[in-house]
Structure 1
Amino acid sequence: MAAPRPPPGRLSGVMVPAPIQDLEALRALTALFKEQRNRNLDTIGVAVDLILLFRELRVEQESLLTAFRCGLQFLGNIASRNEDSQSIVWMHAFPELFLSCLNHPDKKIVAYSSMILFTSLNSERMKELEENLNIAIDVIEAHQKQPESEWPFLIITDHFLKSPELVKVMYAKMSNQERVTLLDLMIAKIMGDEPLSKDEIPVFLSHAELIASTFVDQCKTVLKLTSEQHAEDEEALATIRLLDVLCEMTANTDLLGYLQVFPGLLERVIELLRVIHAAGSDTMNIFSTCARMKAEGDVSHMAEGFKSHLIRLIGNLCYKNKDNQDKVNELDGIALILDSCSIDDKNPFLTQWVVLAIRNLTEDNSQNQDLIAKMEEQGLADASLLKKVGFEVEKRGDKLILKSTSDTPQL
């Protein structure tokens, strides 16, 4: 790691900007350095010193802000597609420049400093970020404040998410709002138009370990949301986003197998579904069933859809997995899933996820099929409910058979 640079010089104890005689000349110089033949590495240290001086002054004069921005553009251009320049920029700029600029109130300064960071990062320098986590977290905050800005987004998706070690230490230090932002981008990466590459699969398996272990440890924090006093609890909302990530990860065949055998995950999901189902039935709260349709423009709460996603995750974890199918049976999870199937405006697509879960639980599993058939015979499962999720019970001699109906399940 490069040694910290000394602070810019002072005159009479007062920080002053270097004289800028011709701003247009600085702009022209910035443009010239887009061409590799015009690059002069000796100017990088001076440019960094000027930029740090502008940041130290904290002035809002337009001319100084423009010079500030031009200095950053100059560094971005000189480092573009040139490894030698990137190395020199990193040596002079890290970490002070990024600590000074990534949280600046001027959007362009944040964008330009993000461009320099994106251009300069490589696998070795990522390790230095683990020792300077404030820089990485500043990037997350920059994306929160400017989601339309390209550079913070690219830093996170093209650099951070490729380093499970960095993500793990970042996650431990970030605020819950920042965690939600990071998890949202993880979901976007998994659901992107391009499937995860062979090189990305091992990385996301490491992410899956972090997400699953954190969810297993913290999932009961969502119960805080049953109290109006904690209706916007940020820790609970971050935990909900963990569930969303697990749903998308288990929809990926390359990640599914690992999560199907993750210790305690399936058991904890069933337990949580049971608790929130009971909590929603006992008192009126965010987990209670709501059969009315929301008016246009109503704002959804992050907890909406939580029950649907729990059932979706159970179904995914049981896909072609006999051990998990049997485990849900042992934990009385099948009756719980069927009992959870009702029209609920707070849980869009609940019926569809119940259908998928029951299909995955009964596929090539005669024991689970027999259980559901007996439940219907004993009045523990309503025939209309089974039909609603796409099944019916047929008696063949002394045996009850659960079969899929040809009708499309009712929504």
Structure 2
Amino acid sequence: MRTSRARFWAAVALAAATVPSGLACIWDGDTLAAEVRHRGYLVLDALTGRFDRLPPEYYRKRYELASERIAKDPSALAAYDNAAVACERLGRTDEAIDWMLKKQAAMEALPVHDRAARDDARYRFHANIGTFYAHRWVAGGAKRDDPDALAALDHLTKCMAINPEAHFGREVVQLGMIEWLNSERKQSLGDHLAERVMSSVPYAMDSSNNVLAEGLAGLVLLGAAWESVDVYNCMAHTLNFSFDSSLSFVAALRVEELLQSGKRPLDQSEGWRITLDDAASFWEDQYKKRYRTELTKVYSQLRAAGDEYVRKRNEYVLARLAEGRHPDSDGGFWSDWTEPARVELPDRRALTRSQFALVQTLLAGGILAGVVILILVASRVSRSRKRAR
């Protein structure tokens, strides 16, 4: 645990040397709306289950509408995304990949007029098909260097080259997880992801943003990681390292919940798990017991609220599907929906954002000063050697 922490802090210090200024994969018709709905609550919603887990009927209807649209207009690129993601949500991954290959053929047949629109279509193509290949690879046992793994890595790398900052930074995190699964796994998943993110995103751990935590949360909200011990454990680690002790403790509670339900991690490296004691390690001793009790109680309330959110949301959806309505064909589908009030999480952060920013600035200044001193020393030694000759 401590060795892992030391390696992580070395990476944080290296990233801080740039003195970042601040912020800064499945895509279908719901993705952008989901990003807006969770803005400001992304990590908390992923930790507590307040996000869409829509019923199969919703995706069957989406598939039907998308198929009809493509039959009428083969150039309707977004409809290919909807058809493919609907198949993936229904467990039909082979069909999802086939739809993306059809989209690729449709893109190649279109004249190039709008570069931005073309890049957006290409980005969504690579993000979706890369994710589908990854899911099929994992479902097939995640054998090293399997063609599906290599295809997933290739497409997600191309996706990041087009838009490296999209999707909460999810693609870089997803890419890192696939790399780790396809490796000998000598390094812990958390260490690998930290290094991957910080080598790809210069501002990865600035005072207002945590790309790794948000990328992991994106895997939950927009992917299939709601029951992944590894994802939540990594979230607990990275939040702890950024002194966000409230969210780190909640993430550790989620890990505890999953383990008690029988879920098991893929990461079997020594010290892989962040315990509740680890998550609370930055709190002052006189507050630890009270904060732990308080946050454990609030987490229970947040989880209950998350489950109730899903129940109400699906109840709303099913009632309108029974009337033949769907958001892909009915612009007023969500007009009667009211977001339930939120249960707020007490802020028991070990350091405030401004304090964390100061720590980063001091780290950056210290590293810069060290580099300058090394240069001066090297220069003086060089001159001394020349005089000695």
Query: Which entry has the higher C-alpha Rg, 1 or 2?
Result: 1
> What's the TM-score, normalizing by structure 2?
0.30
Task: Indicate the structure whose relative CO is greater, using CA pairs within 8 Å and at least 6 residues apart.
Answer: 2
